[in-house]
Chains A and B, each alone.
Chain A
Amino acid sequence: MNDTPSSQMPVALSAYAEDVDKVYYLIFWLSVVLFVGIMAAAAYFAISGKRKPGVRAEPTGHHMILELGWTVAPVFILAYLFWVGWKGYLDMSMVPPNALEVRGRAFQWGWDFEYPNGVHSKELKAPLGKPVKMILSSNDVLHAFFVPQFRIKRDTVPGIYATTWFEANKLGEADIFCAEYCGGKGEGDTATGHWAMIGKVKIMPAADFDKFLKEGNGPKEGETVPDWGKRLYADKNCAGCHSTDGAVGAGPSWKGLFGRTEVMSDETKLLADENYIRESILEPQAHIVKGFGPVMPSYKGILQDKEIDAIISYMKTLK
């Protein structure tokens, strides 16, 4: 097992990553040999054939056996490459039956992961040595779940569940990138987009993982509800568009929001009470605040009732 990144590949942290690397380096060395061979021949022919006065080029322009040879010989190499790639790919696609199911939701612009007992996290937690089946979906546009250290990638398509799986075989951290372009918004520090959908996978011993599942659903020990709401504000990416100090970002600031009367794009006025805020979070397109675009993603399925309550109680502190 290689614990360090190779020259061209990141560290391998999943069961089939090494297979992918083997195929990658096989093609790499094959290409190097072919490339050097062809270029050496071309360079030699070109230099040795440099034009000399009075010397004509040799006229022969066709050689059946040679030409058939270089048409047919590659077929075998190509067939072999196809075969190893396909076999490796099948391993990636066949989810082991005992896999733990984790839901991954992509939205503009972040990730949310949900475990079988309803616990959510922004960082993906993965138990060591246990296959994990990812059930991926998107709240808005296309994204792709990409973990280079696992050699895995899968597009998330709105309206469709996509599945893939991995088995982390070493402790450590891996990166999550969004690999399918999904836009961007905002100016300056509040700008966010495709490039900001960078997350982490934390691979932990099975015991720690179980502990995380037990404790993950609610405030941490000693945390008050508004503090939990504040943590959610950061963790769930609300901070990407909403400030708490009055500055206008892609969305309105939360400062003094609770209890204020908001003017909507159709000039109706609504009081920002619990119901209004709850609706703003679950169905943001139902009413659009005047002066803003309809860009807020819905958090339906991502935020639990308890979490929404916690966010509201945090908002109440932002006078």
Chain B
Amino acid sequence: MSTHDEATLNTNYLTATKGWKSWAFTLDHKRIGLMYLVFVLAAFLAGGIFALLVRTELMSHGPTIVSGPTYNKLFTLHGAIMVFLFIIPSIPASLGNFILPIQLGAKDVAFPKLNLLSFYVYLCGATLTLLSIAHGSVDTGWTFYTPYSLQDPEAATKVLYMTLGVFVLGFSSILTGLNFLVSIHKLRAPGLTWTRLPLFIWGMYATSIMQVLATPVLAITLLMLVFERVFGLGIFDPKLGGDPILFQHFFWFYSHPAVYIMIVPGMAVVSELFATFSRRVIFGYFAVAMSSLGLALVGFIVWAHHMFTSGMSEFANMLFSALTFLVAIPSGVKVFNWTATLYKGSISFAPPMLYALAFLFLFTIGGLTGLFLGTLNTDIHLHDTYFVVAHFHYVMMGGTVIGFIGGLLYWWPKMTGKMYHFGGATVGAWLTFIGFNVTFLSQFVLGSRGMPRRYYDYLPEFESLHRVSTFGAYILASGLFTTAGVLIHSLAKGRAAGRNPWGSVALEWKTQTPPVFQNFEQTPIITKGPYDYHLASDEELVEDLYAPDAAE
């Protein structure tokens, strides 16, 4: 897009060029980020609808709305869509694409064409997944465990489409990760030293390393699955002389780091929120930055804690249990540092901050319940029960998704140029928070009492807690829909947002709202850290929620 003249480069990126081609072939990271956002949110909606169907089925003992095999497909789709189409790309590909280059003071990511390619690769992967649904969908669970995923030859095409879809989605992740790594190394504005990098960038850095290193293993594993299906190679299927446990090792060698690919971006977002809404530097900036890298590192050596009951040797179980406890240290460091950031801060309870506080609450529960699962003898009882389901929802949804929504509300005015209604957003946040806890706290108890996961039907004694959980899910859904309504309303009727609605000193708030095509009219020179509130003048801290011309 070198053909743009100076004037275009310095106008609002949303209106700088026109026509559908200017979007479909755009190389602008901001537009790509927005397009990602649209698709990622659509995937969230689809995954959420499947979740509601699953919860509704479980509301009562006995068949409720669907048959058993359909239920198996519903929870598979819920899991696969949420993980591969929503959570993994959510923060990096949508918010990250938009904000990262601006926070770097750069004009774009290092490889804009690769960025657009990764978007289309994502769409291809999503299409393949949809094809598998159109063929009747898979019922293997999002983990595709062998030999079940290889068992029924009639399901072959669907499993093929789904695994190929996930395979392709993996490449989109790798490309985004690569792009971010190079951008962070090469495109920092003058004066933006490593110790002045916003924590969001540190988080994206750690995430990108994991994406680039771990995703290929998933790709290889899925490819082997495809080969086994198509050519009858005996890799994982015992009938052909393969080893189903090997599949689990491969699968978790990716999917455990994937847990951190999902949660580290959430942590990265809330670090920004805590700083902005407390008007303080994040307590222990260095420790928080390094703990992201620490998680990325430790995340690679704990995969087999998903397999304590699979029949690994006692020695392997001991080793992986011990390593798993290491994860608690960087996670704890973050929680303590965020809490300490609040101390003697100047705290605003604007909607994004509510999500940061909710994150602190929910992620702490998610982390502490991980202790039950890292401890060997309790894990034997809890493994594959609702306790695990509740645990990872506290981390993935209570952590990443809450962080994502918080980040979305935080950067929304910058991205869209519109400010939303605070009251509505606050109500949405509370409903989401309450609904979430009702849904998943009850599941911890279900699990410790012995309710296995992925059950279409259950013993009557589990009914009351299942019912509580289902009603919680409805409250949760009402919270999310309220928030969606508030955001959509802001696009249609919202007032134009000001340049720096939160009174932040971070770089992305220094440019226009919405940013100009090339992000900054002049390349910014960085002289301070992103959280140096004590060095800021009073004017810098003014919260201009609305653009001056919009305010009567």
Contact = CB atoms under 8 A, between A and B. Distances in A.
B256 to A, nearest CB: 18
B68 A8 contact: no
B311 A62 contact: no
B429 to A, nearest CB: 14
A299 B339 CA distance: 59
A195 B68 CA distance: 8
B377 A92 contact: yes
Given A24-B448, A45-B345, A153 B380 contact: yes
B6 interface: no
A56 B343 CA distance: 12
Contacts of B322: 82, 86
A59 B378 CA distance: 43
Interface stretch (A176-184, A202-210, A275-283, A311-319): A176-184
Contacts of B376: 85-86, 88-89
Contacts of A167: none
A319 to B, nearest CB: 31
A27 interface: yes
Contact of A89 (B71, B245, B314): B314
A19 interface: yes
A42 interface: yes
A5 interface: yes
A46 B372 contact: no
Interface stretch (B7-15, B22-30, B111-119, B147-155): B147-155
Interface in A136-173: 140-142, 144, 146, 148-149, 151-155, 157-160, 162
Contacts of B339: 38, 41-42, 45
Contact of A148 (B154, B328, B360, B381): B381
Interface in B126-160: 139-141, 143, 145, 147-148, 151-154
Contact of B68 (A50, A51, A182, A193): A193
A88 B448 CA distance: 17
Interface in B366-384: 368-369, 371-372, 374-381, 383-384
A43 to B, nearest CB: 9
B148 A61 contact: no
Given A24-B448, A151-B380, A193 B287 contact: no
A56 B372 CA distance: 41
A248 interface: no
Nearest to A180: B384
A38 B335 contact: yes
Contact of A70 (B285, B332, B360): B332
Interface in A1-49: 5, 7-10, 16, 19-20, 23-24, 27-28, 30-31, 34-35, 38-39, 41-42, 45-47, 49
Most chain B beta-carbon neighbours within 10 Å: one of A30, A34, A180:
A180
A86 B361 CA distance: 29
B524 interface: no
A237 B283 CA distance: 61
B48 interface: no
Contacts, number: 283
A49 B68 contact: no
Contacts of B369: 31
Interface in A58-113: 58-63, 66-67, 70-71, 74-75, 78-79, 81-82, 84-93
Given A45-B339, A177-B450, A85 B378 contact: yes
B321 A82 contact: yes
Q: Is the interface of A mostly helix, strand, loop or mixed?
A: mixed
A20 B281 contact: no
Nearest to B278: A57
B345 A57 contact: yes
A31 B311 contact: no
Contacts of A151: 377, 380-381
Interface in B430-478: 444-445, 448-450, 452-459
A194 interface: yes
Contacts of A35: 364-365, 368
A52 interface: yes
Q: How many of chain A's residues touch chain B, expressed as a range?
A: 35 or more
Nearest to B141: A181
A177 B456 CA distance: 13
B456 A86 contact: no
A70 B336 contact: yes
A89 B285 CA distance: 39
Given A58-B345, A142-B147, A142-B148, A191 B68 contact: yes
B108 to A, nearest CB: 32
Given A58-B280, A85-B375, A191-B69, A179 B383 contact: yes
Contacts of A118: none
Contacts of B444: 8
A295 interface: yes
A179 B321 contact: no
B552 to A, nearest CB: 23
A270 interface: no
Interface in B228-285: 238-239, 244-245, 278-285
A155 B357 CA distance: 39
Contacts of A148: 381, 449-450
B445 A8 contact: yes
Given A57-B346, A157-B244, A179 B452 contact: yes
A23 B375 contact: yes
B142 to A, nearest CB: 10
B73 to A, nearest CB: 10
A62 B285 contact: yes
24 contacts: A8-B444, A42-B338, A45-B347, A46-B347, A46-B357, A57-B533, A59-B533, A61-B282, A61-B283, A67-B336, A70-B333, A71-B329, A75-B329, A81-B374, A81-B375, A82-B375, A85-B375, A89-B377, A144-B309, A158-B244, A181-B143, A183-B140, A184-B456, A195-B68
Given A61-B283, A191-B68, 16 more contacts: A9-B449, A56-B534, A86-B321, A89-B318, A141-B148, A144-B309, A148-B449, A151-B377, A154-B311, A157-B244, A179-B385, A183-B140, A184-B456, A186-B67, A187-B69, A295-B152
Interface of A: 5, 7-10, 16, 19-20, 23-24, 27-28, 30-31, 34-35, 38-39, 41-42, 45-47, 49-52, 55-63, 66-67, 70-71, 74-75, 78-79, 81-82, 84-93, 140-142, 144, 146, 148-149, 151-155, 157-160, 162, 175, 177-188, 191-196, 198, 293-295
